[in-house]
Amino acid sequence: MPKKLIKRYTPDKETIRNHKYLRIFGRLLHDPNLWHLNRRSVSGAFAVGLFWAFIPIPFQMITAAATAIPARVNLPISVALVWITNPLTMPPMFYSTYMVGTWVLDEPVQEIEFELTVDWLMNSIGGVWQPLYLGSLICAIIAATIGYAAMRGYWRWHVVNHMKKREEKRQSSN
């Protein structure tokens, strides 16, 4: 069952509840629906986590948690999936979203020398923020939709396969 695979790789309740940035949600983290593993909560968590992974903002974990709580989807999966955006994947992801944004806005691509400094960010982001955020929003919606549908489909496929195997096993034992 997908539950076993998911449980193996997601953080436990206490790790999430005690995370320094997620403590701001306090008692909201005690809702049992945030910890259930079923087709609805997992597929919704995939949508939430993948959406926020594509949006270039700081503290993506907090925004994913803030979305997962009222949506009542699996919190650990939502929070964990934003880590798709990490220091290794960030440059290609956000360059790709920038390219999508320039294509949609029909703007020329600006050649920018990237530096990881506050000064560079303050001086250079002004010319690229519109295509970057538009492309990020488009890619986030697409990724969330695909993630949601793929997880729903995978979960359904897995359950149907499990039922068929159980039925075959029951038939062979008779």
pLDDT 10s digits, 12-47: 667 766 777 667 777 677 777 787 788 899 999 999
In a domain, 117, yes or no: yes
> Whole domain around residue 124: which residue ranges?
2-86+93-101+112-173
Q: Which of 92-96, 105-109, 140-144, 155-159 has the highest mean pLDDT?
A: 140-144
The torsion angle over the Cα atoms of residues 46, 50, 52 and 56, rounded to 10 degrees, is 170
Q: What is the pTM of this model?
A: 0.78
**Please, what is the average pLDDT of the chain?**
84
More confident residue, 6 or 134: 134
The yes-or-no verdict on residue 1 having pLDDT over 60 is no
Mean of the pLDDT values across residues 76-95? Answer: 89
The pLDDT tens digits of the residues spanning 127-158 come to 788 898 999 999 999 999 999 999 999 989 98
Q: What is the DSSP string of 84-135?
A: GS-TTTHHHHHHHHHHHHHHHHT-PPPP-----SHHHHHHHGGGTHHHHHHH
Residue 107, in any domain of the structure: no
How many structural domains does the chain have? 1
Q: Is residue 106 part of a domain?
A: no
Domain membership flag for residue 149: yes
